[in-house]
Amino acid sequence: MASKKKWFEDGNFWVTTFPLMFSKARLENSANEVEKLITMLDIAPGSNILDLCCGVGRLSIEFAKHNFSVTGVDITKAYLNIAKKNAGKTSKIKFIQSDMRAFSKPNSFDVIVNMFTSFGYFEDPKDDIKVLKNCFISLKPGGKIIIELLGKEILASTGRFY
């Protein structure tokens, strides 16, 4: 008997929640967010960046505008289709459909960004550990990772997702 997909594995969930996840304000703030990330992480020119759980590519595209080599990974095919369309044909971004629990590319990235609370929602903590191990394997020596976390209590108390 096939196991039932979890809510975070269900592409329809992400398509349905698209308007909440990617509000106009969130999309418009992407360039500013990337500028802050570049400064905060002191990202060197020419760095290879992994945008893990890239969604519609809002950060991937902005990093590419700064001439970084970017790989965007997301589980949701519909989001990746939007990302590819928004990036255009001339973009050097590689978009890959994969579950973050399965994706690793050993010794490949100078920086990994995992933004907008895309970490920590697995039911089994072993899955979170698997993601962290994949990130560690994927980072080059001296590489940096940033994971944005926002607790469910804050989300519930404000009702805001941006």
**In the chain, where the domains are located:** 30-158
Q: Which residue would you say has higher pLDDT here, 91 or 42?
A: 42
Please calculate the CA angle 141-98-102 and round it to the nearest 5 degrees: 60
pLDDT tens digits for 71-94?
999 998 988 999 999 998 767 899
pLDDT for the residue numbered 3:
61
Give me the CATH code for the 30-158 domain, please.
Answer: 3.40.50.150
CA distance 77 to 27: 19
How much is the pTM? 0.80
20: tokens are 């909440």
The pLDDT of residue 52 is 96
- The angle subtended at Cα 67 by Cα 19 and Cα 84, nearest 5°, is 35
Is it the case that residue 148 has pLDDT exceeding 60?
Answer: yes
**What amino acid is encoded at 83 in this protein?**
A
Q: Return the minimum-mean-pLDDT range out of 71-80, 114-123, 142-151.
A: 114-123
Confidence at residue 123, expressed as pLDDT on a 0 to 100 scale = 78
